[in-house]
Amino acid sequence: MVTQFEQIREQQKQSWNKFSSGWNKWNTFMMAFLGPIGESIISSLDLKDSCRHV
Protein backbone atom coordinates (compact mmCIF):
# COMPACT_ATOMS: atom_id res chain seq x y z
CA MET A 1 0.00 0.00 0.00
CA VAL A 2 1.39 3.37 -1.05
CA THR A 3 1.16 6.06 1.61
CA GLN A 4 0.16 9.63 0.94
CA PHE A 5 3.72 10.77 1.65
CA GLU A 6 5.12 8.32 -0.89
CA GLN A 7 2.64 9.60 -3.48
CA ILE A 8 3.65 13.19 -2.78
CA ARG A 9 7.34 12.31 -3.01
CA GLU A 10 6.80 10.54 -6.33
CA GLN A 11 4.82 13.48 -7.73
CA GLN A 12 7.56 15.89 -6.67
CA LYS A 13 10.20 13.67 -8.25
CA GLN A 14 8.25 13.54 -11.53
CA SER A 15 7.81 17.32 -11.47
CA TRP A 16 11.52 17.87 -10.82
CA ASN A 17 12.50 15.51 -13.64
CA LYS A 18 10.15 17.35 -16.00
CA PHE A 19 11.54 20.81 -15.28
CA SER A 20 15.14 20.15 -14.21
CA SER A 21 16.56 20.61 -17.71
CA GLY A 22 15.61 24.30 -17.50
CA TRP A 23 17.33 24.56 -14.13
CA ASN A 24 20.51 23.01 -15.55
CA LYS A 25 20.38 25.30 -18.58
CA TRP A 26 20.45 28.47 -16.48
CA ASN A 27 22.55 27.27 -13.52
CA THR A 28 25.94 28.29 -14.96
CA PHE A 29 24.69 31.73 -15.95
CA MET A 30 22.94 32.40 -12.64
CA MET A 31 25.87 31.23 -10.53
CA ALA A 32 28.24 33.47 -12.50
CA PHE A 33 25.80 36.37 -12.11
CA LEU A 34 24.87 35.88 -8.45
CA GLY A 35 28.01 34.21 -7.10
CA PRO A 36 29.95 37.41 -6.37
CA ILE A 37 26.93 38.89 -4.59
CA GLY A 38 26.61 35.84 -2.35
CA GLU A 39 30.31 35.93 -1.54
CA SER A 40 30.06 39.63 -0.68
CA ILE A 41 27.08 39.06 1.62
CA ILE A 42 28.83 36.21 3.42
CA SER A 43 32.01 38.26 3.82
CA SER A 44 30.07 41.18 5.28
CA LEU A 45 28.56 38.95 7.99
CA ASP A 46 31.93 38.73 9.76
CA LEU A 47 31.16 35.23 11.04
CA LYS A 48 33.14 33.87 13.95
CA ASP A 49 34.04 30.25 14.70
CA SER A 50 31.52 30.33 17.54
CA CYS A 51 28.68 31.36 15.17
CA ARG A 52 26.19 28.83 13.88
CA HIS A 53 24.83 29.44 10.42
CA VAL A 54 23.17 27.61 7.56
Q: What is the pTM of this model?
A: 0.41
Q: Determine the pLDDT at residue 27.
A: 85
Spatial contact of 40 and 34, defined as CB atoms under 8 Å apart: no
Phi, psi of 25 (to 5 degrees): -60, -45
Domain of residue 37 covers: 4-51
Q: Is the dihedral of CA 19, 22, 28, 34 positive or negative?
A: negative
Per residue in 1-54, pLDDT tens? 679 999 999 999 999 888 888 887 888 888 899 989 988 998 898 888 888 877
Number of domains in the chain: 1
Q: Determine the pLDDT at residue 1.
A: 66
Q: Determine the pLDDT at residue 37.
A: 92
Query: Whole-angstrom Cα distance, residue 52 to residue 39?
Result: 17
Q: Determine the pLDDT at residue 49.
A: 85
Query: Whole-angstrom Cα distance, residue 21 to residue 9?
Result: 19
